[in-house]
Amino acid sequence: MVKSVRLAVFASGTGTNFQALHDAILQRHLHAEIVRLIVDKSAAGALNLAKIFGIPATFIKYSEYKTKPEAEQAILNQLKIDEVDGILLAGYMRILTPTLIDNYPSKIINLHPAMLPNFPGRHSILDAYEADVDMTGVTVHFVDNGIDTGKIIAQQKVPRLPNDTLQDLETRMHNVEHVLYPNTLEQLLNEGVFLK
């Protein structure tokens, strides 16, 4: 029998990618389960989804810790209790430190709304829009100690159309994210990445 991979999702916002990942695992009968949601904002919409899905959630208030590594150690302690095999960042707006990264080498995956290495960082959709590029995209990559510098796993181009507003482009990007991220997760599960 194939072992079910135990995953944690980290989110800061509405949780649309959290939902896409959750739905894909159920609908495709993937050998994985999301056993923990970690959020860094008490008002994150992802918390409501976790409640609906019956997934335990933890809110980490970084300001309650002296340093970011201390906050991450608290997260790590919870992940160890949950026996988490891998981490999926789904709109988590914090840069991870070696405290987490070194404990999950090549097992932390991030979704970035740009064709890396172009437009790294927090405002990548806006940056691409303001740069007036006619093509941007979405990248799924491993997390390393740099900012959006980890090994690229999958990418998909997203056109910026001549009459696009920023919101038009954001919507098109998110629609691609909700397909590319689950597809990439399935690929990684099939390759046994989280169990190596």
Binding site members: 15-17, 68, 93-96, 110
Yes or no: say if 81 and 88 are a contact pair by the CB < 8 Å rule: no
Residue stretches of the annotated binding site for (6R)-10-formyltetrahydrofolate: 68, 93-96, 110
Distances (CA, A) of 138 to 75, 87, 90, 124: 27, 19, 13, 10
Rounded Cα distance, 158 and 176, in Å:
8
Identify residue 179 by its one-letter amino acid code: V
Catalytic, out of 22, 29, 31, 112: 112
Cβ neighbours around 191 below 10 Å, total: 11
For the question of residue 29 being annotated catalytic, the response is no
Catalytically active residues are: 112
